[in-house]
Amino acid sequence: SSDLDLTSNLRIEVHAGLVPACSIGDTVWSDLNANGVRDIDEPGVPNVVVILYVLEVANLVEIERTFTDQNGEYHFPGLDASLTYRVQFQLPSDFSQYTTKFVGGNSEKDSDVNMDGSTDEIHLLPGQINNSIDCGLIPSPILGSIGDRVWFDENRDGVQNPSESGIRFVRVQLYEAASLTEPKWNTRTDETGYYRFQNLPAGDYVVEFIAPPGGVFTQPGRAAENLDSDVVSAGRTGVIQLGPGQVLDSVDAGLLPRATPTPIFESSQMPFGNSSDCSQAGCFVFEGLIDYAVIGNTMSDGFNLREGRTMRPESSSQLRIPLGCRVKSAHLYWAGSGSPRGKEISASLNGRTVPASKV
């Protein structure tokens, strides 16, 4: 053998099997128009949890997690090209879903995430820096509401006047304007005639009011938006455009007084005072007409509350008043054959007499 001379300028390179490290990263952004492509005005989303998994046999093993920075960017350095990876993005509470992946064919502007928030398997070449694993998030819609009031248009002028009361328990239905065959939401007016549909995404809607039997809507558009009636046809409004987060409190419906026959007994002087003084339930008792078979009676609370009774000899006709009913007048209508003329009729409420009337 011979000796090796190390005093010369000979350069010896020794490779020990080292492979350059790889990395994965890029951006989570808010896909404001939900088109699957990051547009120039769409911002990154900070503080999103991003988890890196490695595939071992058939299992995913978490090896690292991080948060996106203020620009929505993240980075996993120092990765081994011999391993197979997958990235998972956690959906923040103010976003509703992940955008559609692989839209537009530009890896720098598309999203690489499935609808469960995970990517497909990622394979790296030695030393590869893969800064194209992006995630688009669709913001949750900002919800709004539609509502207001159904009222009794007593003077038929199409305007909500301070003295005109609301109508309770009227059924109200809300349709999406693109589908008017079936309502999407239903409700009823409350004790004072108000209703509301809450948590509505922005869009076009139509409200339908179901009038009580015999009910007729007043004419629309006779006053400012918050004082008029908005029913234009068959109980329905026109198309209502609701913006993101908009609270629309001006969709109203006015109902006209019902046409009624001429009463044979009428009292506008209630024993309990004016219409706002009826604060307890009670029972109207009509005396007289006992030799006639049938009478009908009604009592008006702004939108006629009706009840019919069959009278028998030596009996009275009674009409019960619900608790809180705002009574304006009491009427008695003849519903039998022949004529009741010449009979004395009186009425009382809880034992308090209503002035008598002769028919």
Structural tokens at position 148: 């207001």
Yes or no: say if 92 and 48 are a contact pair by the CB < 8 Å rule: yes
Fold (topology level) of 22-139? Immunoglobulin-like (2.60.40)
3-state secondary structure of 275: helix
By C-alpha distance, which of 316, 309, 267 is closest to 290? 316
Rounded CA separation 151/230 (Å) = 12
Q: Answer yes or no: is pLDDT of 78 > 60.
A: yes
Yes or no: say if 63 and 122 are a contact pair by the CB < 8 Å rule: no
Q: Answer yes or no: is pLDDT of 147 > 70.
A: yes
Classify burial at 136, counting beta carbons within 10 Å of its beta carbon; exposed 0-12, middle 13-18, buried 19 or more. buried
Rounded CA separation 281/45 (Å) = 60
Structural tokens at position 82: 């011999």
Q: Which residue type sits at 189?
A: T
Structural tokens at position 218: 């007043």
> Can you give the pLDDT at residue 294?
35
Q: Which residue type sits at 122?
A: I
Rounded CA separation 318/316 (Å) = 6
Q: Answer yes or no: is pLDDT of 349 > 90.
A: no
Does this model's pTM top 0.75? no
By C-alpha distance, which of 284, 264, 261, 262 is closest to 343? 264
Mean of the pLDDT values across residues 190-204?
A: 94
Q: Answer yes or no: is pLDDT of 117 > 90.
A: yes
Residue 275 phi, psi dihedral angles, 5° rounding? -65, -25
Q: Name which residue leads in pLDDT, 137 or 286.
A: 137
DSSP state of 262: P
Q: Which residue type sits at 283?
A: C
- From the CB of residue 89, how many other CB atoms can be counted at a distance below 10 Å? 26
Q: Answer yes or no: is pLDDT of 282 > 90.
A: no
> Can you give the pLDDT at residue 334?
46
Structural tokens at position 284: 């109207």
Worst-scoring range by mean pLDDT, 2-6, 22-26, 45-49, 304-308?
304-308
Rounded CA separation 21/1 (Å) = 41
Q: Name which residue leads in pLDDT, 261 or 243.
A: 243
- Domains of the chain, residue spans: 22-139, 144-255, 265-358
CATH number of the domain located at residue range(s) 144-255 in this protein: 2.60.40.10
Torsion of CA 283, 286, 292, 294, to 10 degrees: -40
Half-sphere exposure in the Cβ direction for 182 (13 Å, CA):
1
Q: Which CATH number fits domain 265-358: 2.60.120, 1.10.3210, 2.150.10, 3.40.1400?
A: 2.60.120
The answer to whether the 22-139 and 265-358 domains have the same CATH topology is no
Mean of the pLDDT values across residues 112-116?
A: 97
Average pLDDT of the chain is 78
